[in-house]
Amino acid sequence: MRILVTGASGRIGGATAARLALRHQVTGIDRRPGPLTAEIVDVRDTGRIAPLLADLDAIVHTASLHVPDLAASSVGEFRAVNVDATRRLLAAAGEAGVARFVYTSSTSLYGDAMLPAAGEAAWVTEDLAPRPRDVYDETKLAAEEACLDAARQGLACTSLRMSRCSESHG
């Protein structure tokens, strides 16, 4: 398979690209260099990304602003990167005939729903409704909704709500 990984220089994107590269042809993009980043491009620049989508089988979209970016990035930047760029990438994927789109979301979007009630643990099931508490959570949820819209239009989309990631020390 031919797969594009956005955010390929980041922790999740880099690990994903490395694993996929064991069995597939992977093109990584990011705004900063990395071992599997073939193109230095901001995910907001769909015009530069669109030519890379020709003959792709799948896109794994990991590029986004994250919680540590809250202090240095505006609400507008979060929306531009996490939501607007995702919508444009989904549209470009559909136009290019990409068969699959995988979006890396976050369990963080559950926000205040994760607060235990009456000292009891909060269980995450399909019934737990997200209750975002910041712009990161809000934009991850909005990007999931964009994926759902694209799926309704025929693009096979999957949103993965990942838990927190940390570097391994072993």
Higher pLDDT, 115 or 61: 61
Instruction: Please check the confidence at residue 18 and state whether its pLDDT lies above 70.
Output: yes
* pLDDT tens-digit series, residues 126-165: 888 999 999 999 999 999 999 999 999 999 999 999 886 6
| Residues 49-53: contacts with CB under 8 Å, at least 24 apart | 49/89, 49/92, 50/92, 50/95, 50/96, 52/4, 52/27, 53/4, 53/92, 53/93, 53/96, 53/98
Per-chain mean pLDDT for the chain? 93
DSSP conformational letter for 2: E
For the record, the structure tokens of 49 come out as 């990304």
Rounded to whole angstroms, the Cα distance separating 106 from 132 reads 11
CB atoms within 10 A of CB 19: 12
Q: Cite the beta strand spans of 13-138 per DSSP E.
A: 25-30, 37-40, 58-61, 100-106
CA 121 to chain centre: 28
Res 68: pLDDT: 85
Higher pLDDT, 104 or 127: 104
- 68 in Cβ contact with 124 (< 8 Å): no
Res 61: pLDDT: 98
- Under the banding of pLDDT at 50, 70 and 90, the label for residue 166 is low
> Is residue 110 among the annotated active site residues?
no
Q: Which of 136, 142, 150, 155 is catalytic?
A: 136
Burial of 64 (0-12, 13-18, 19+ CB in 10 A): buried
Higher pLDDT, 126 or 166: 126
For the record, the structure tokens of 44 come out as 């907001």
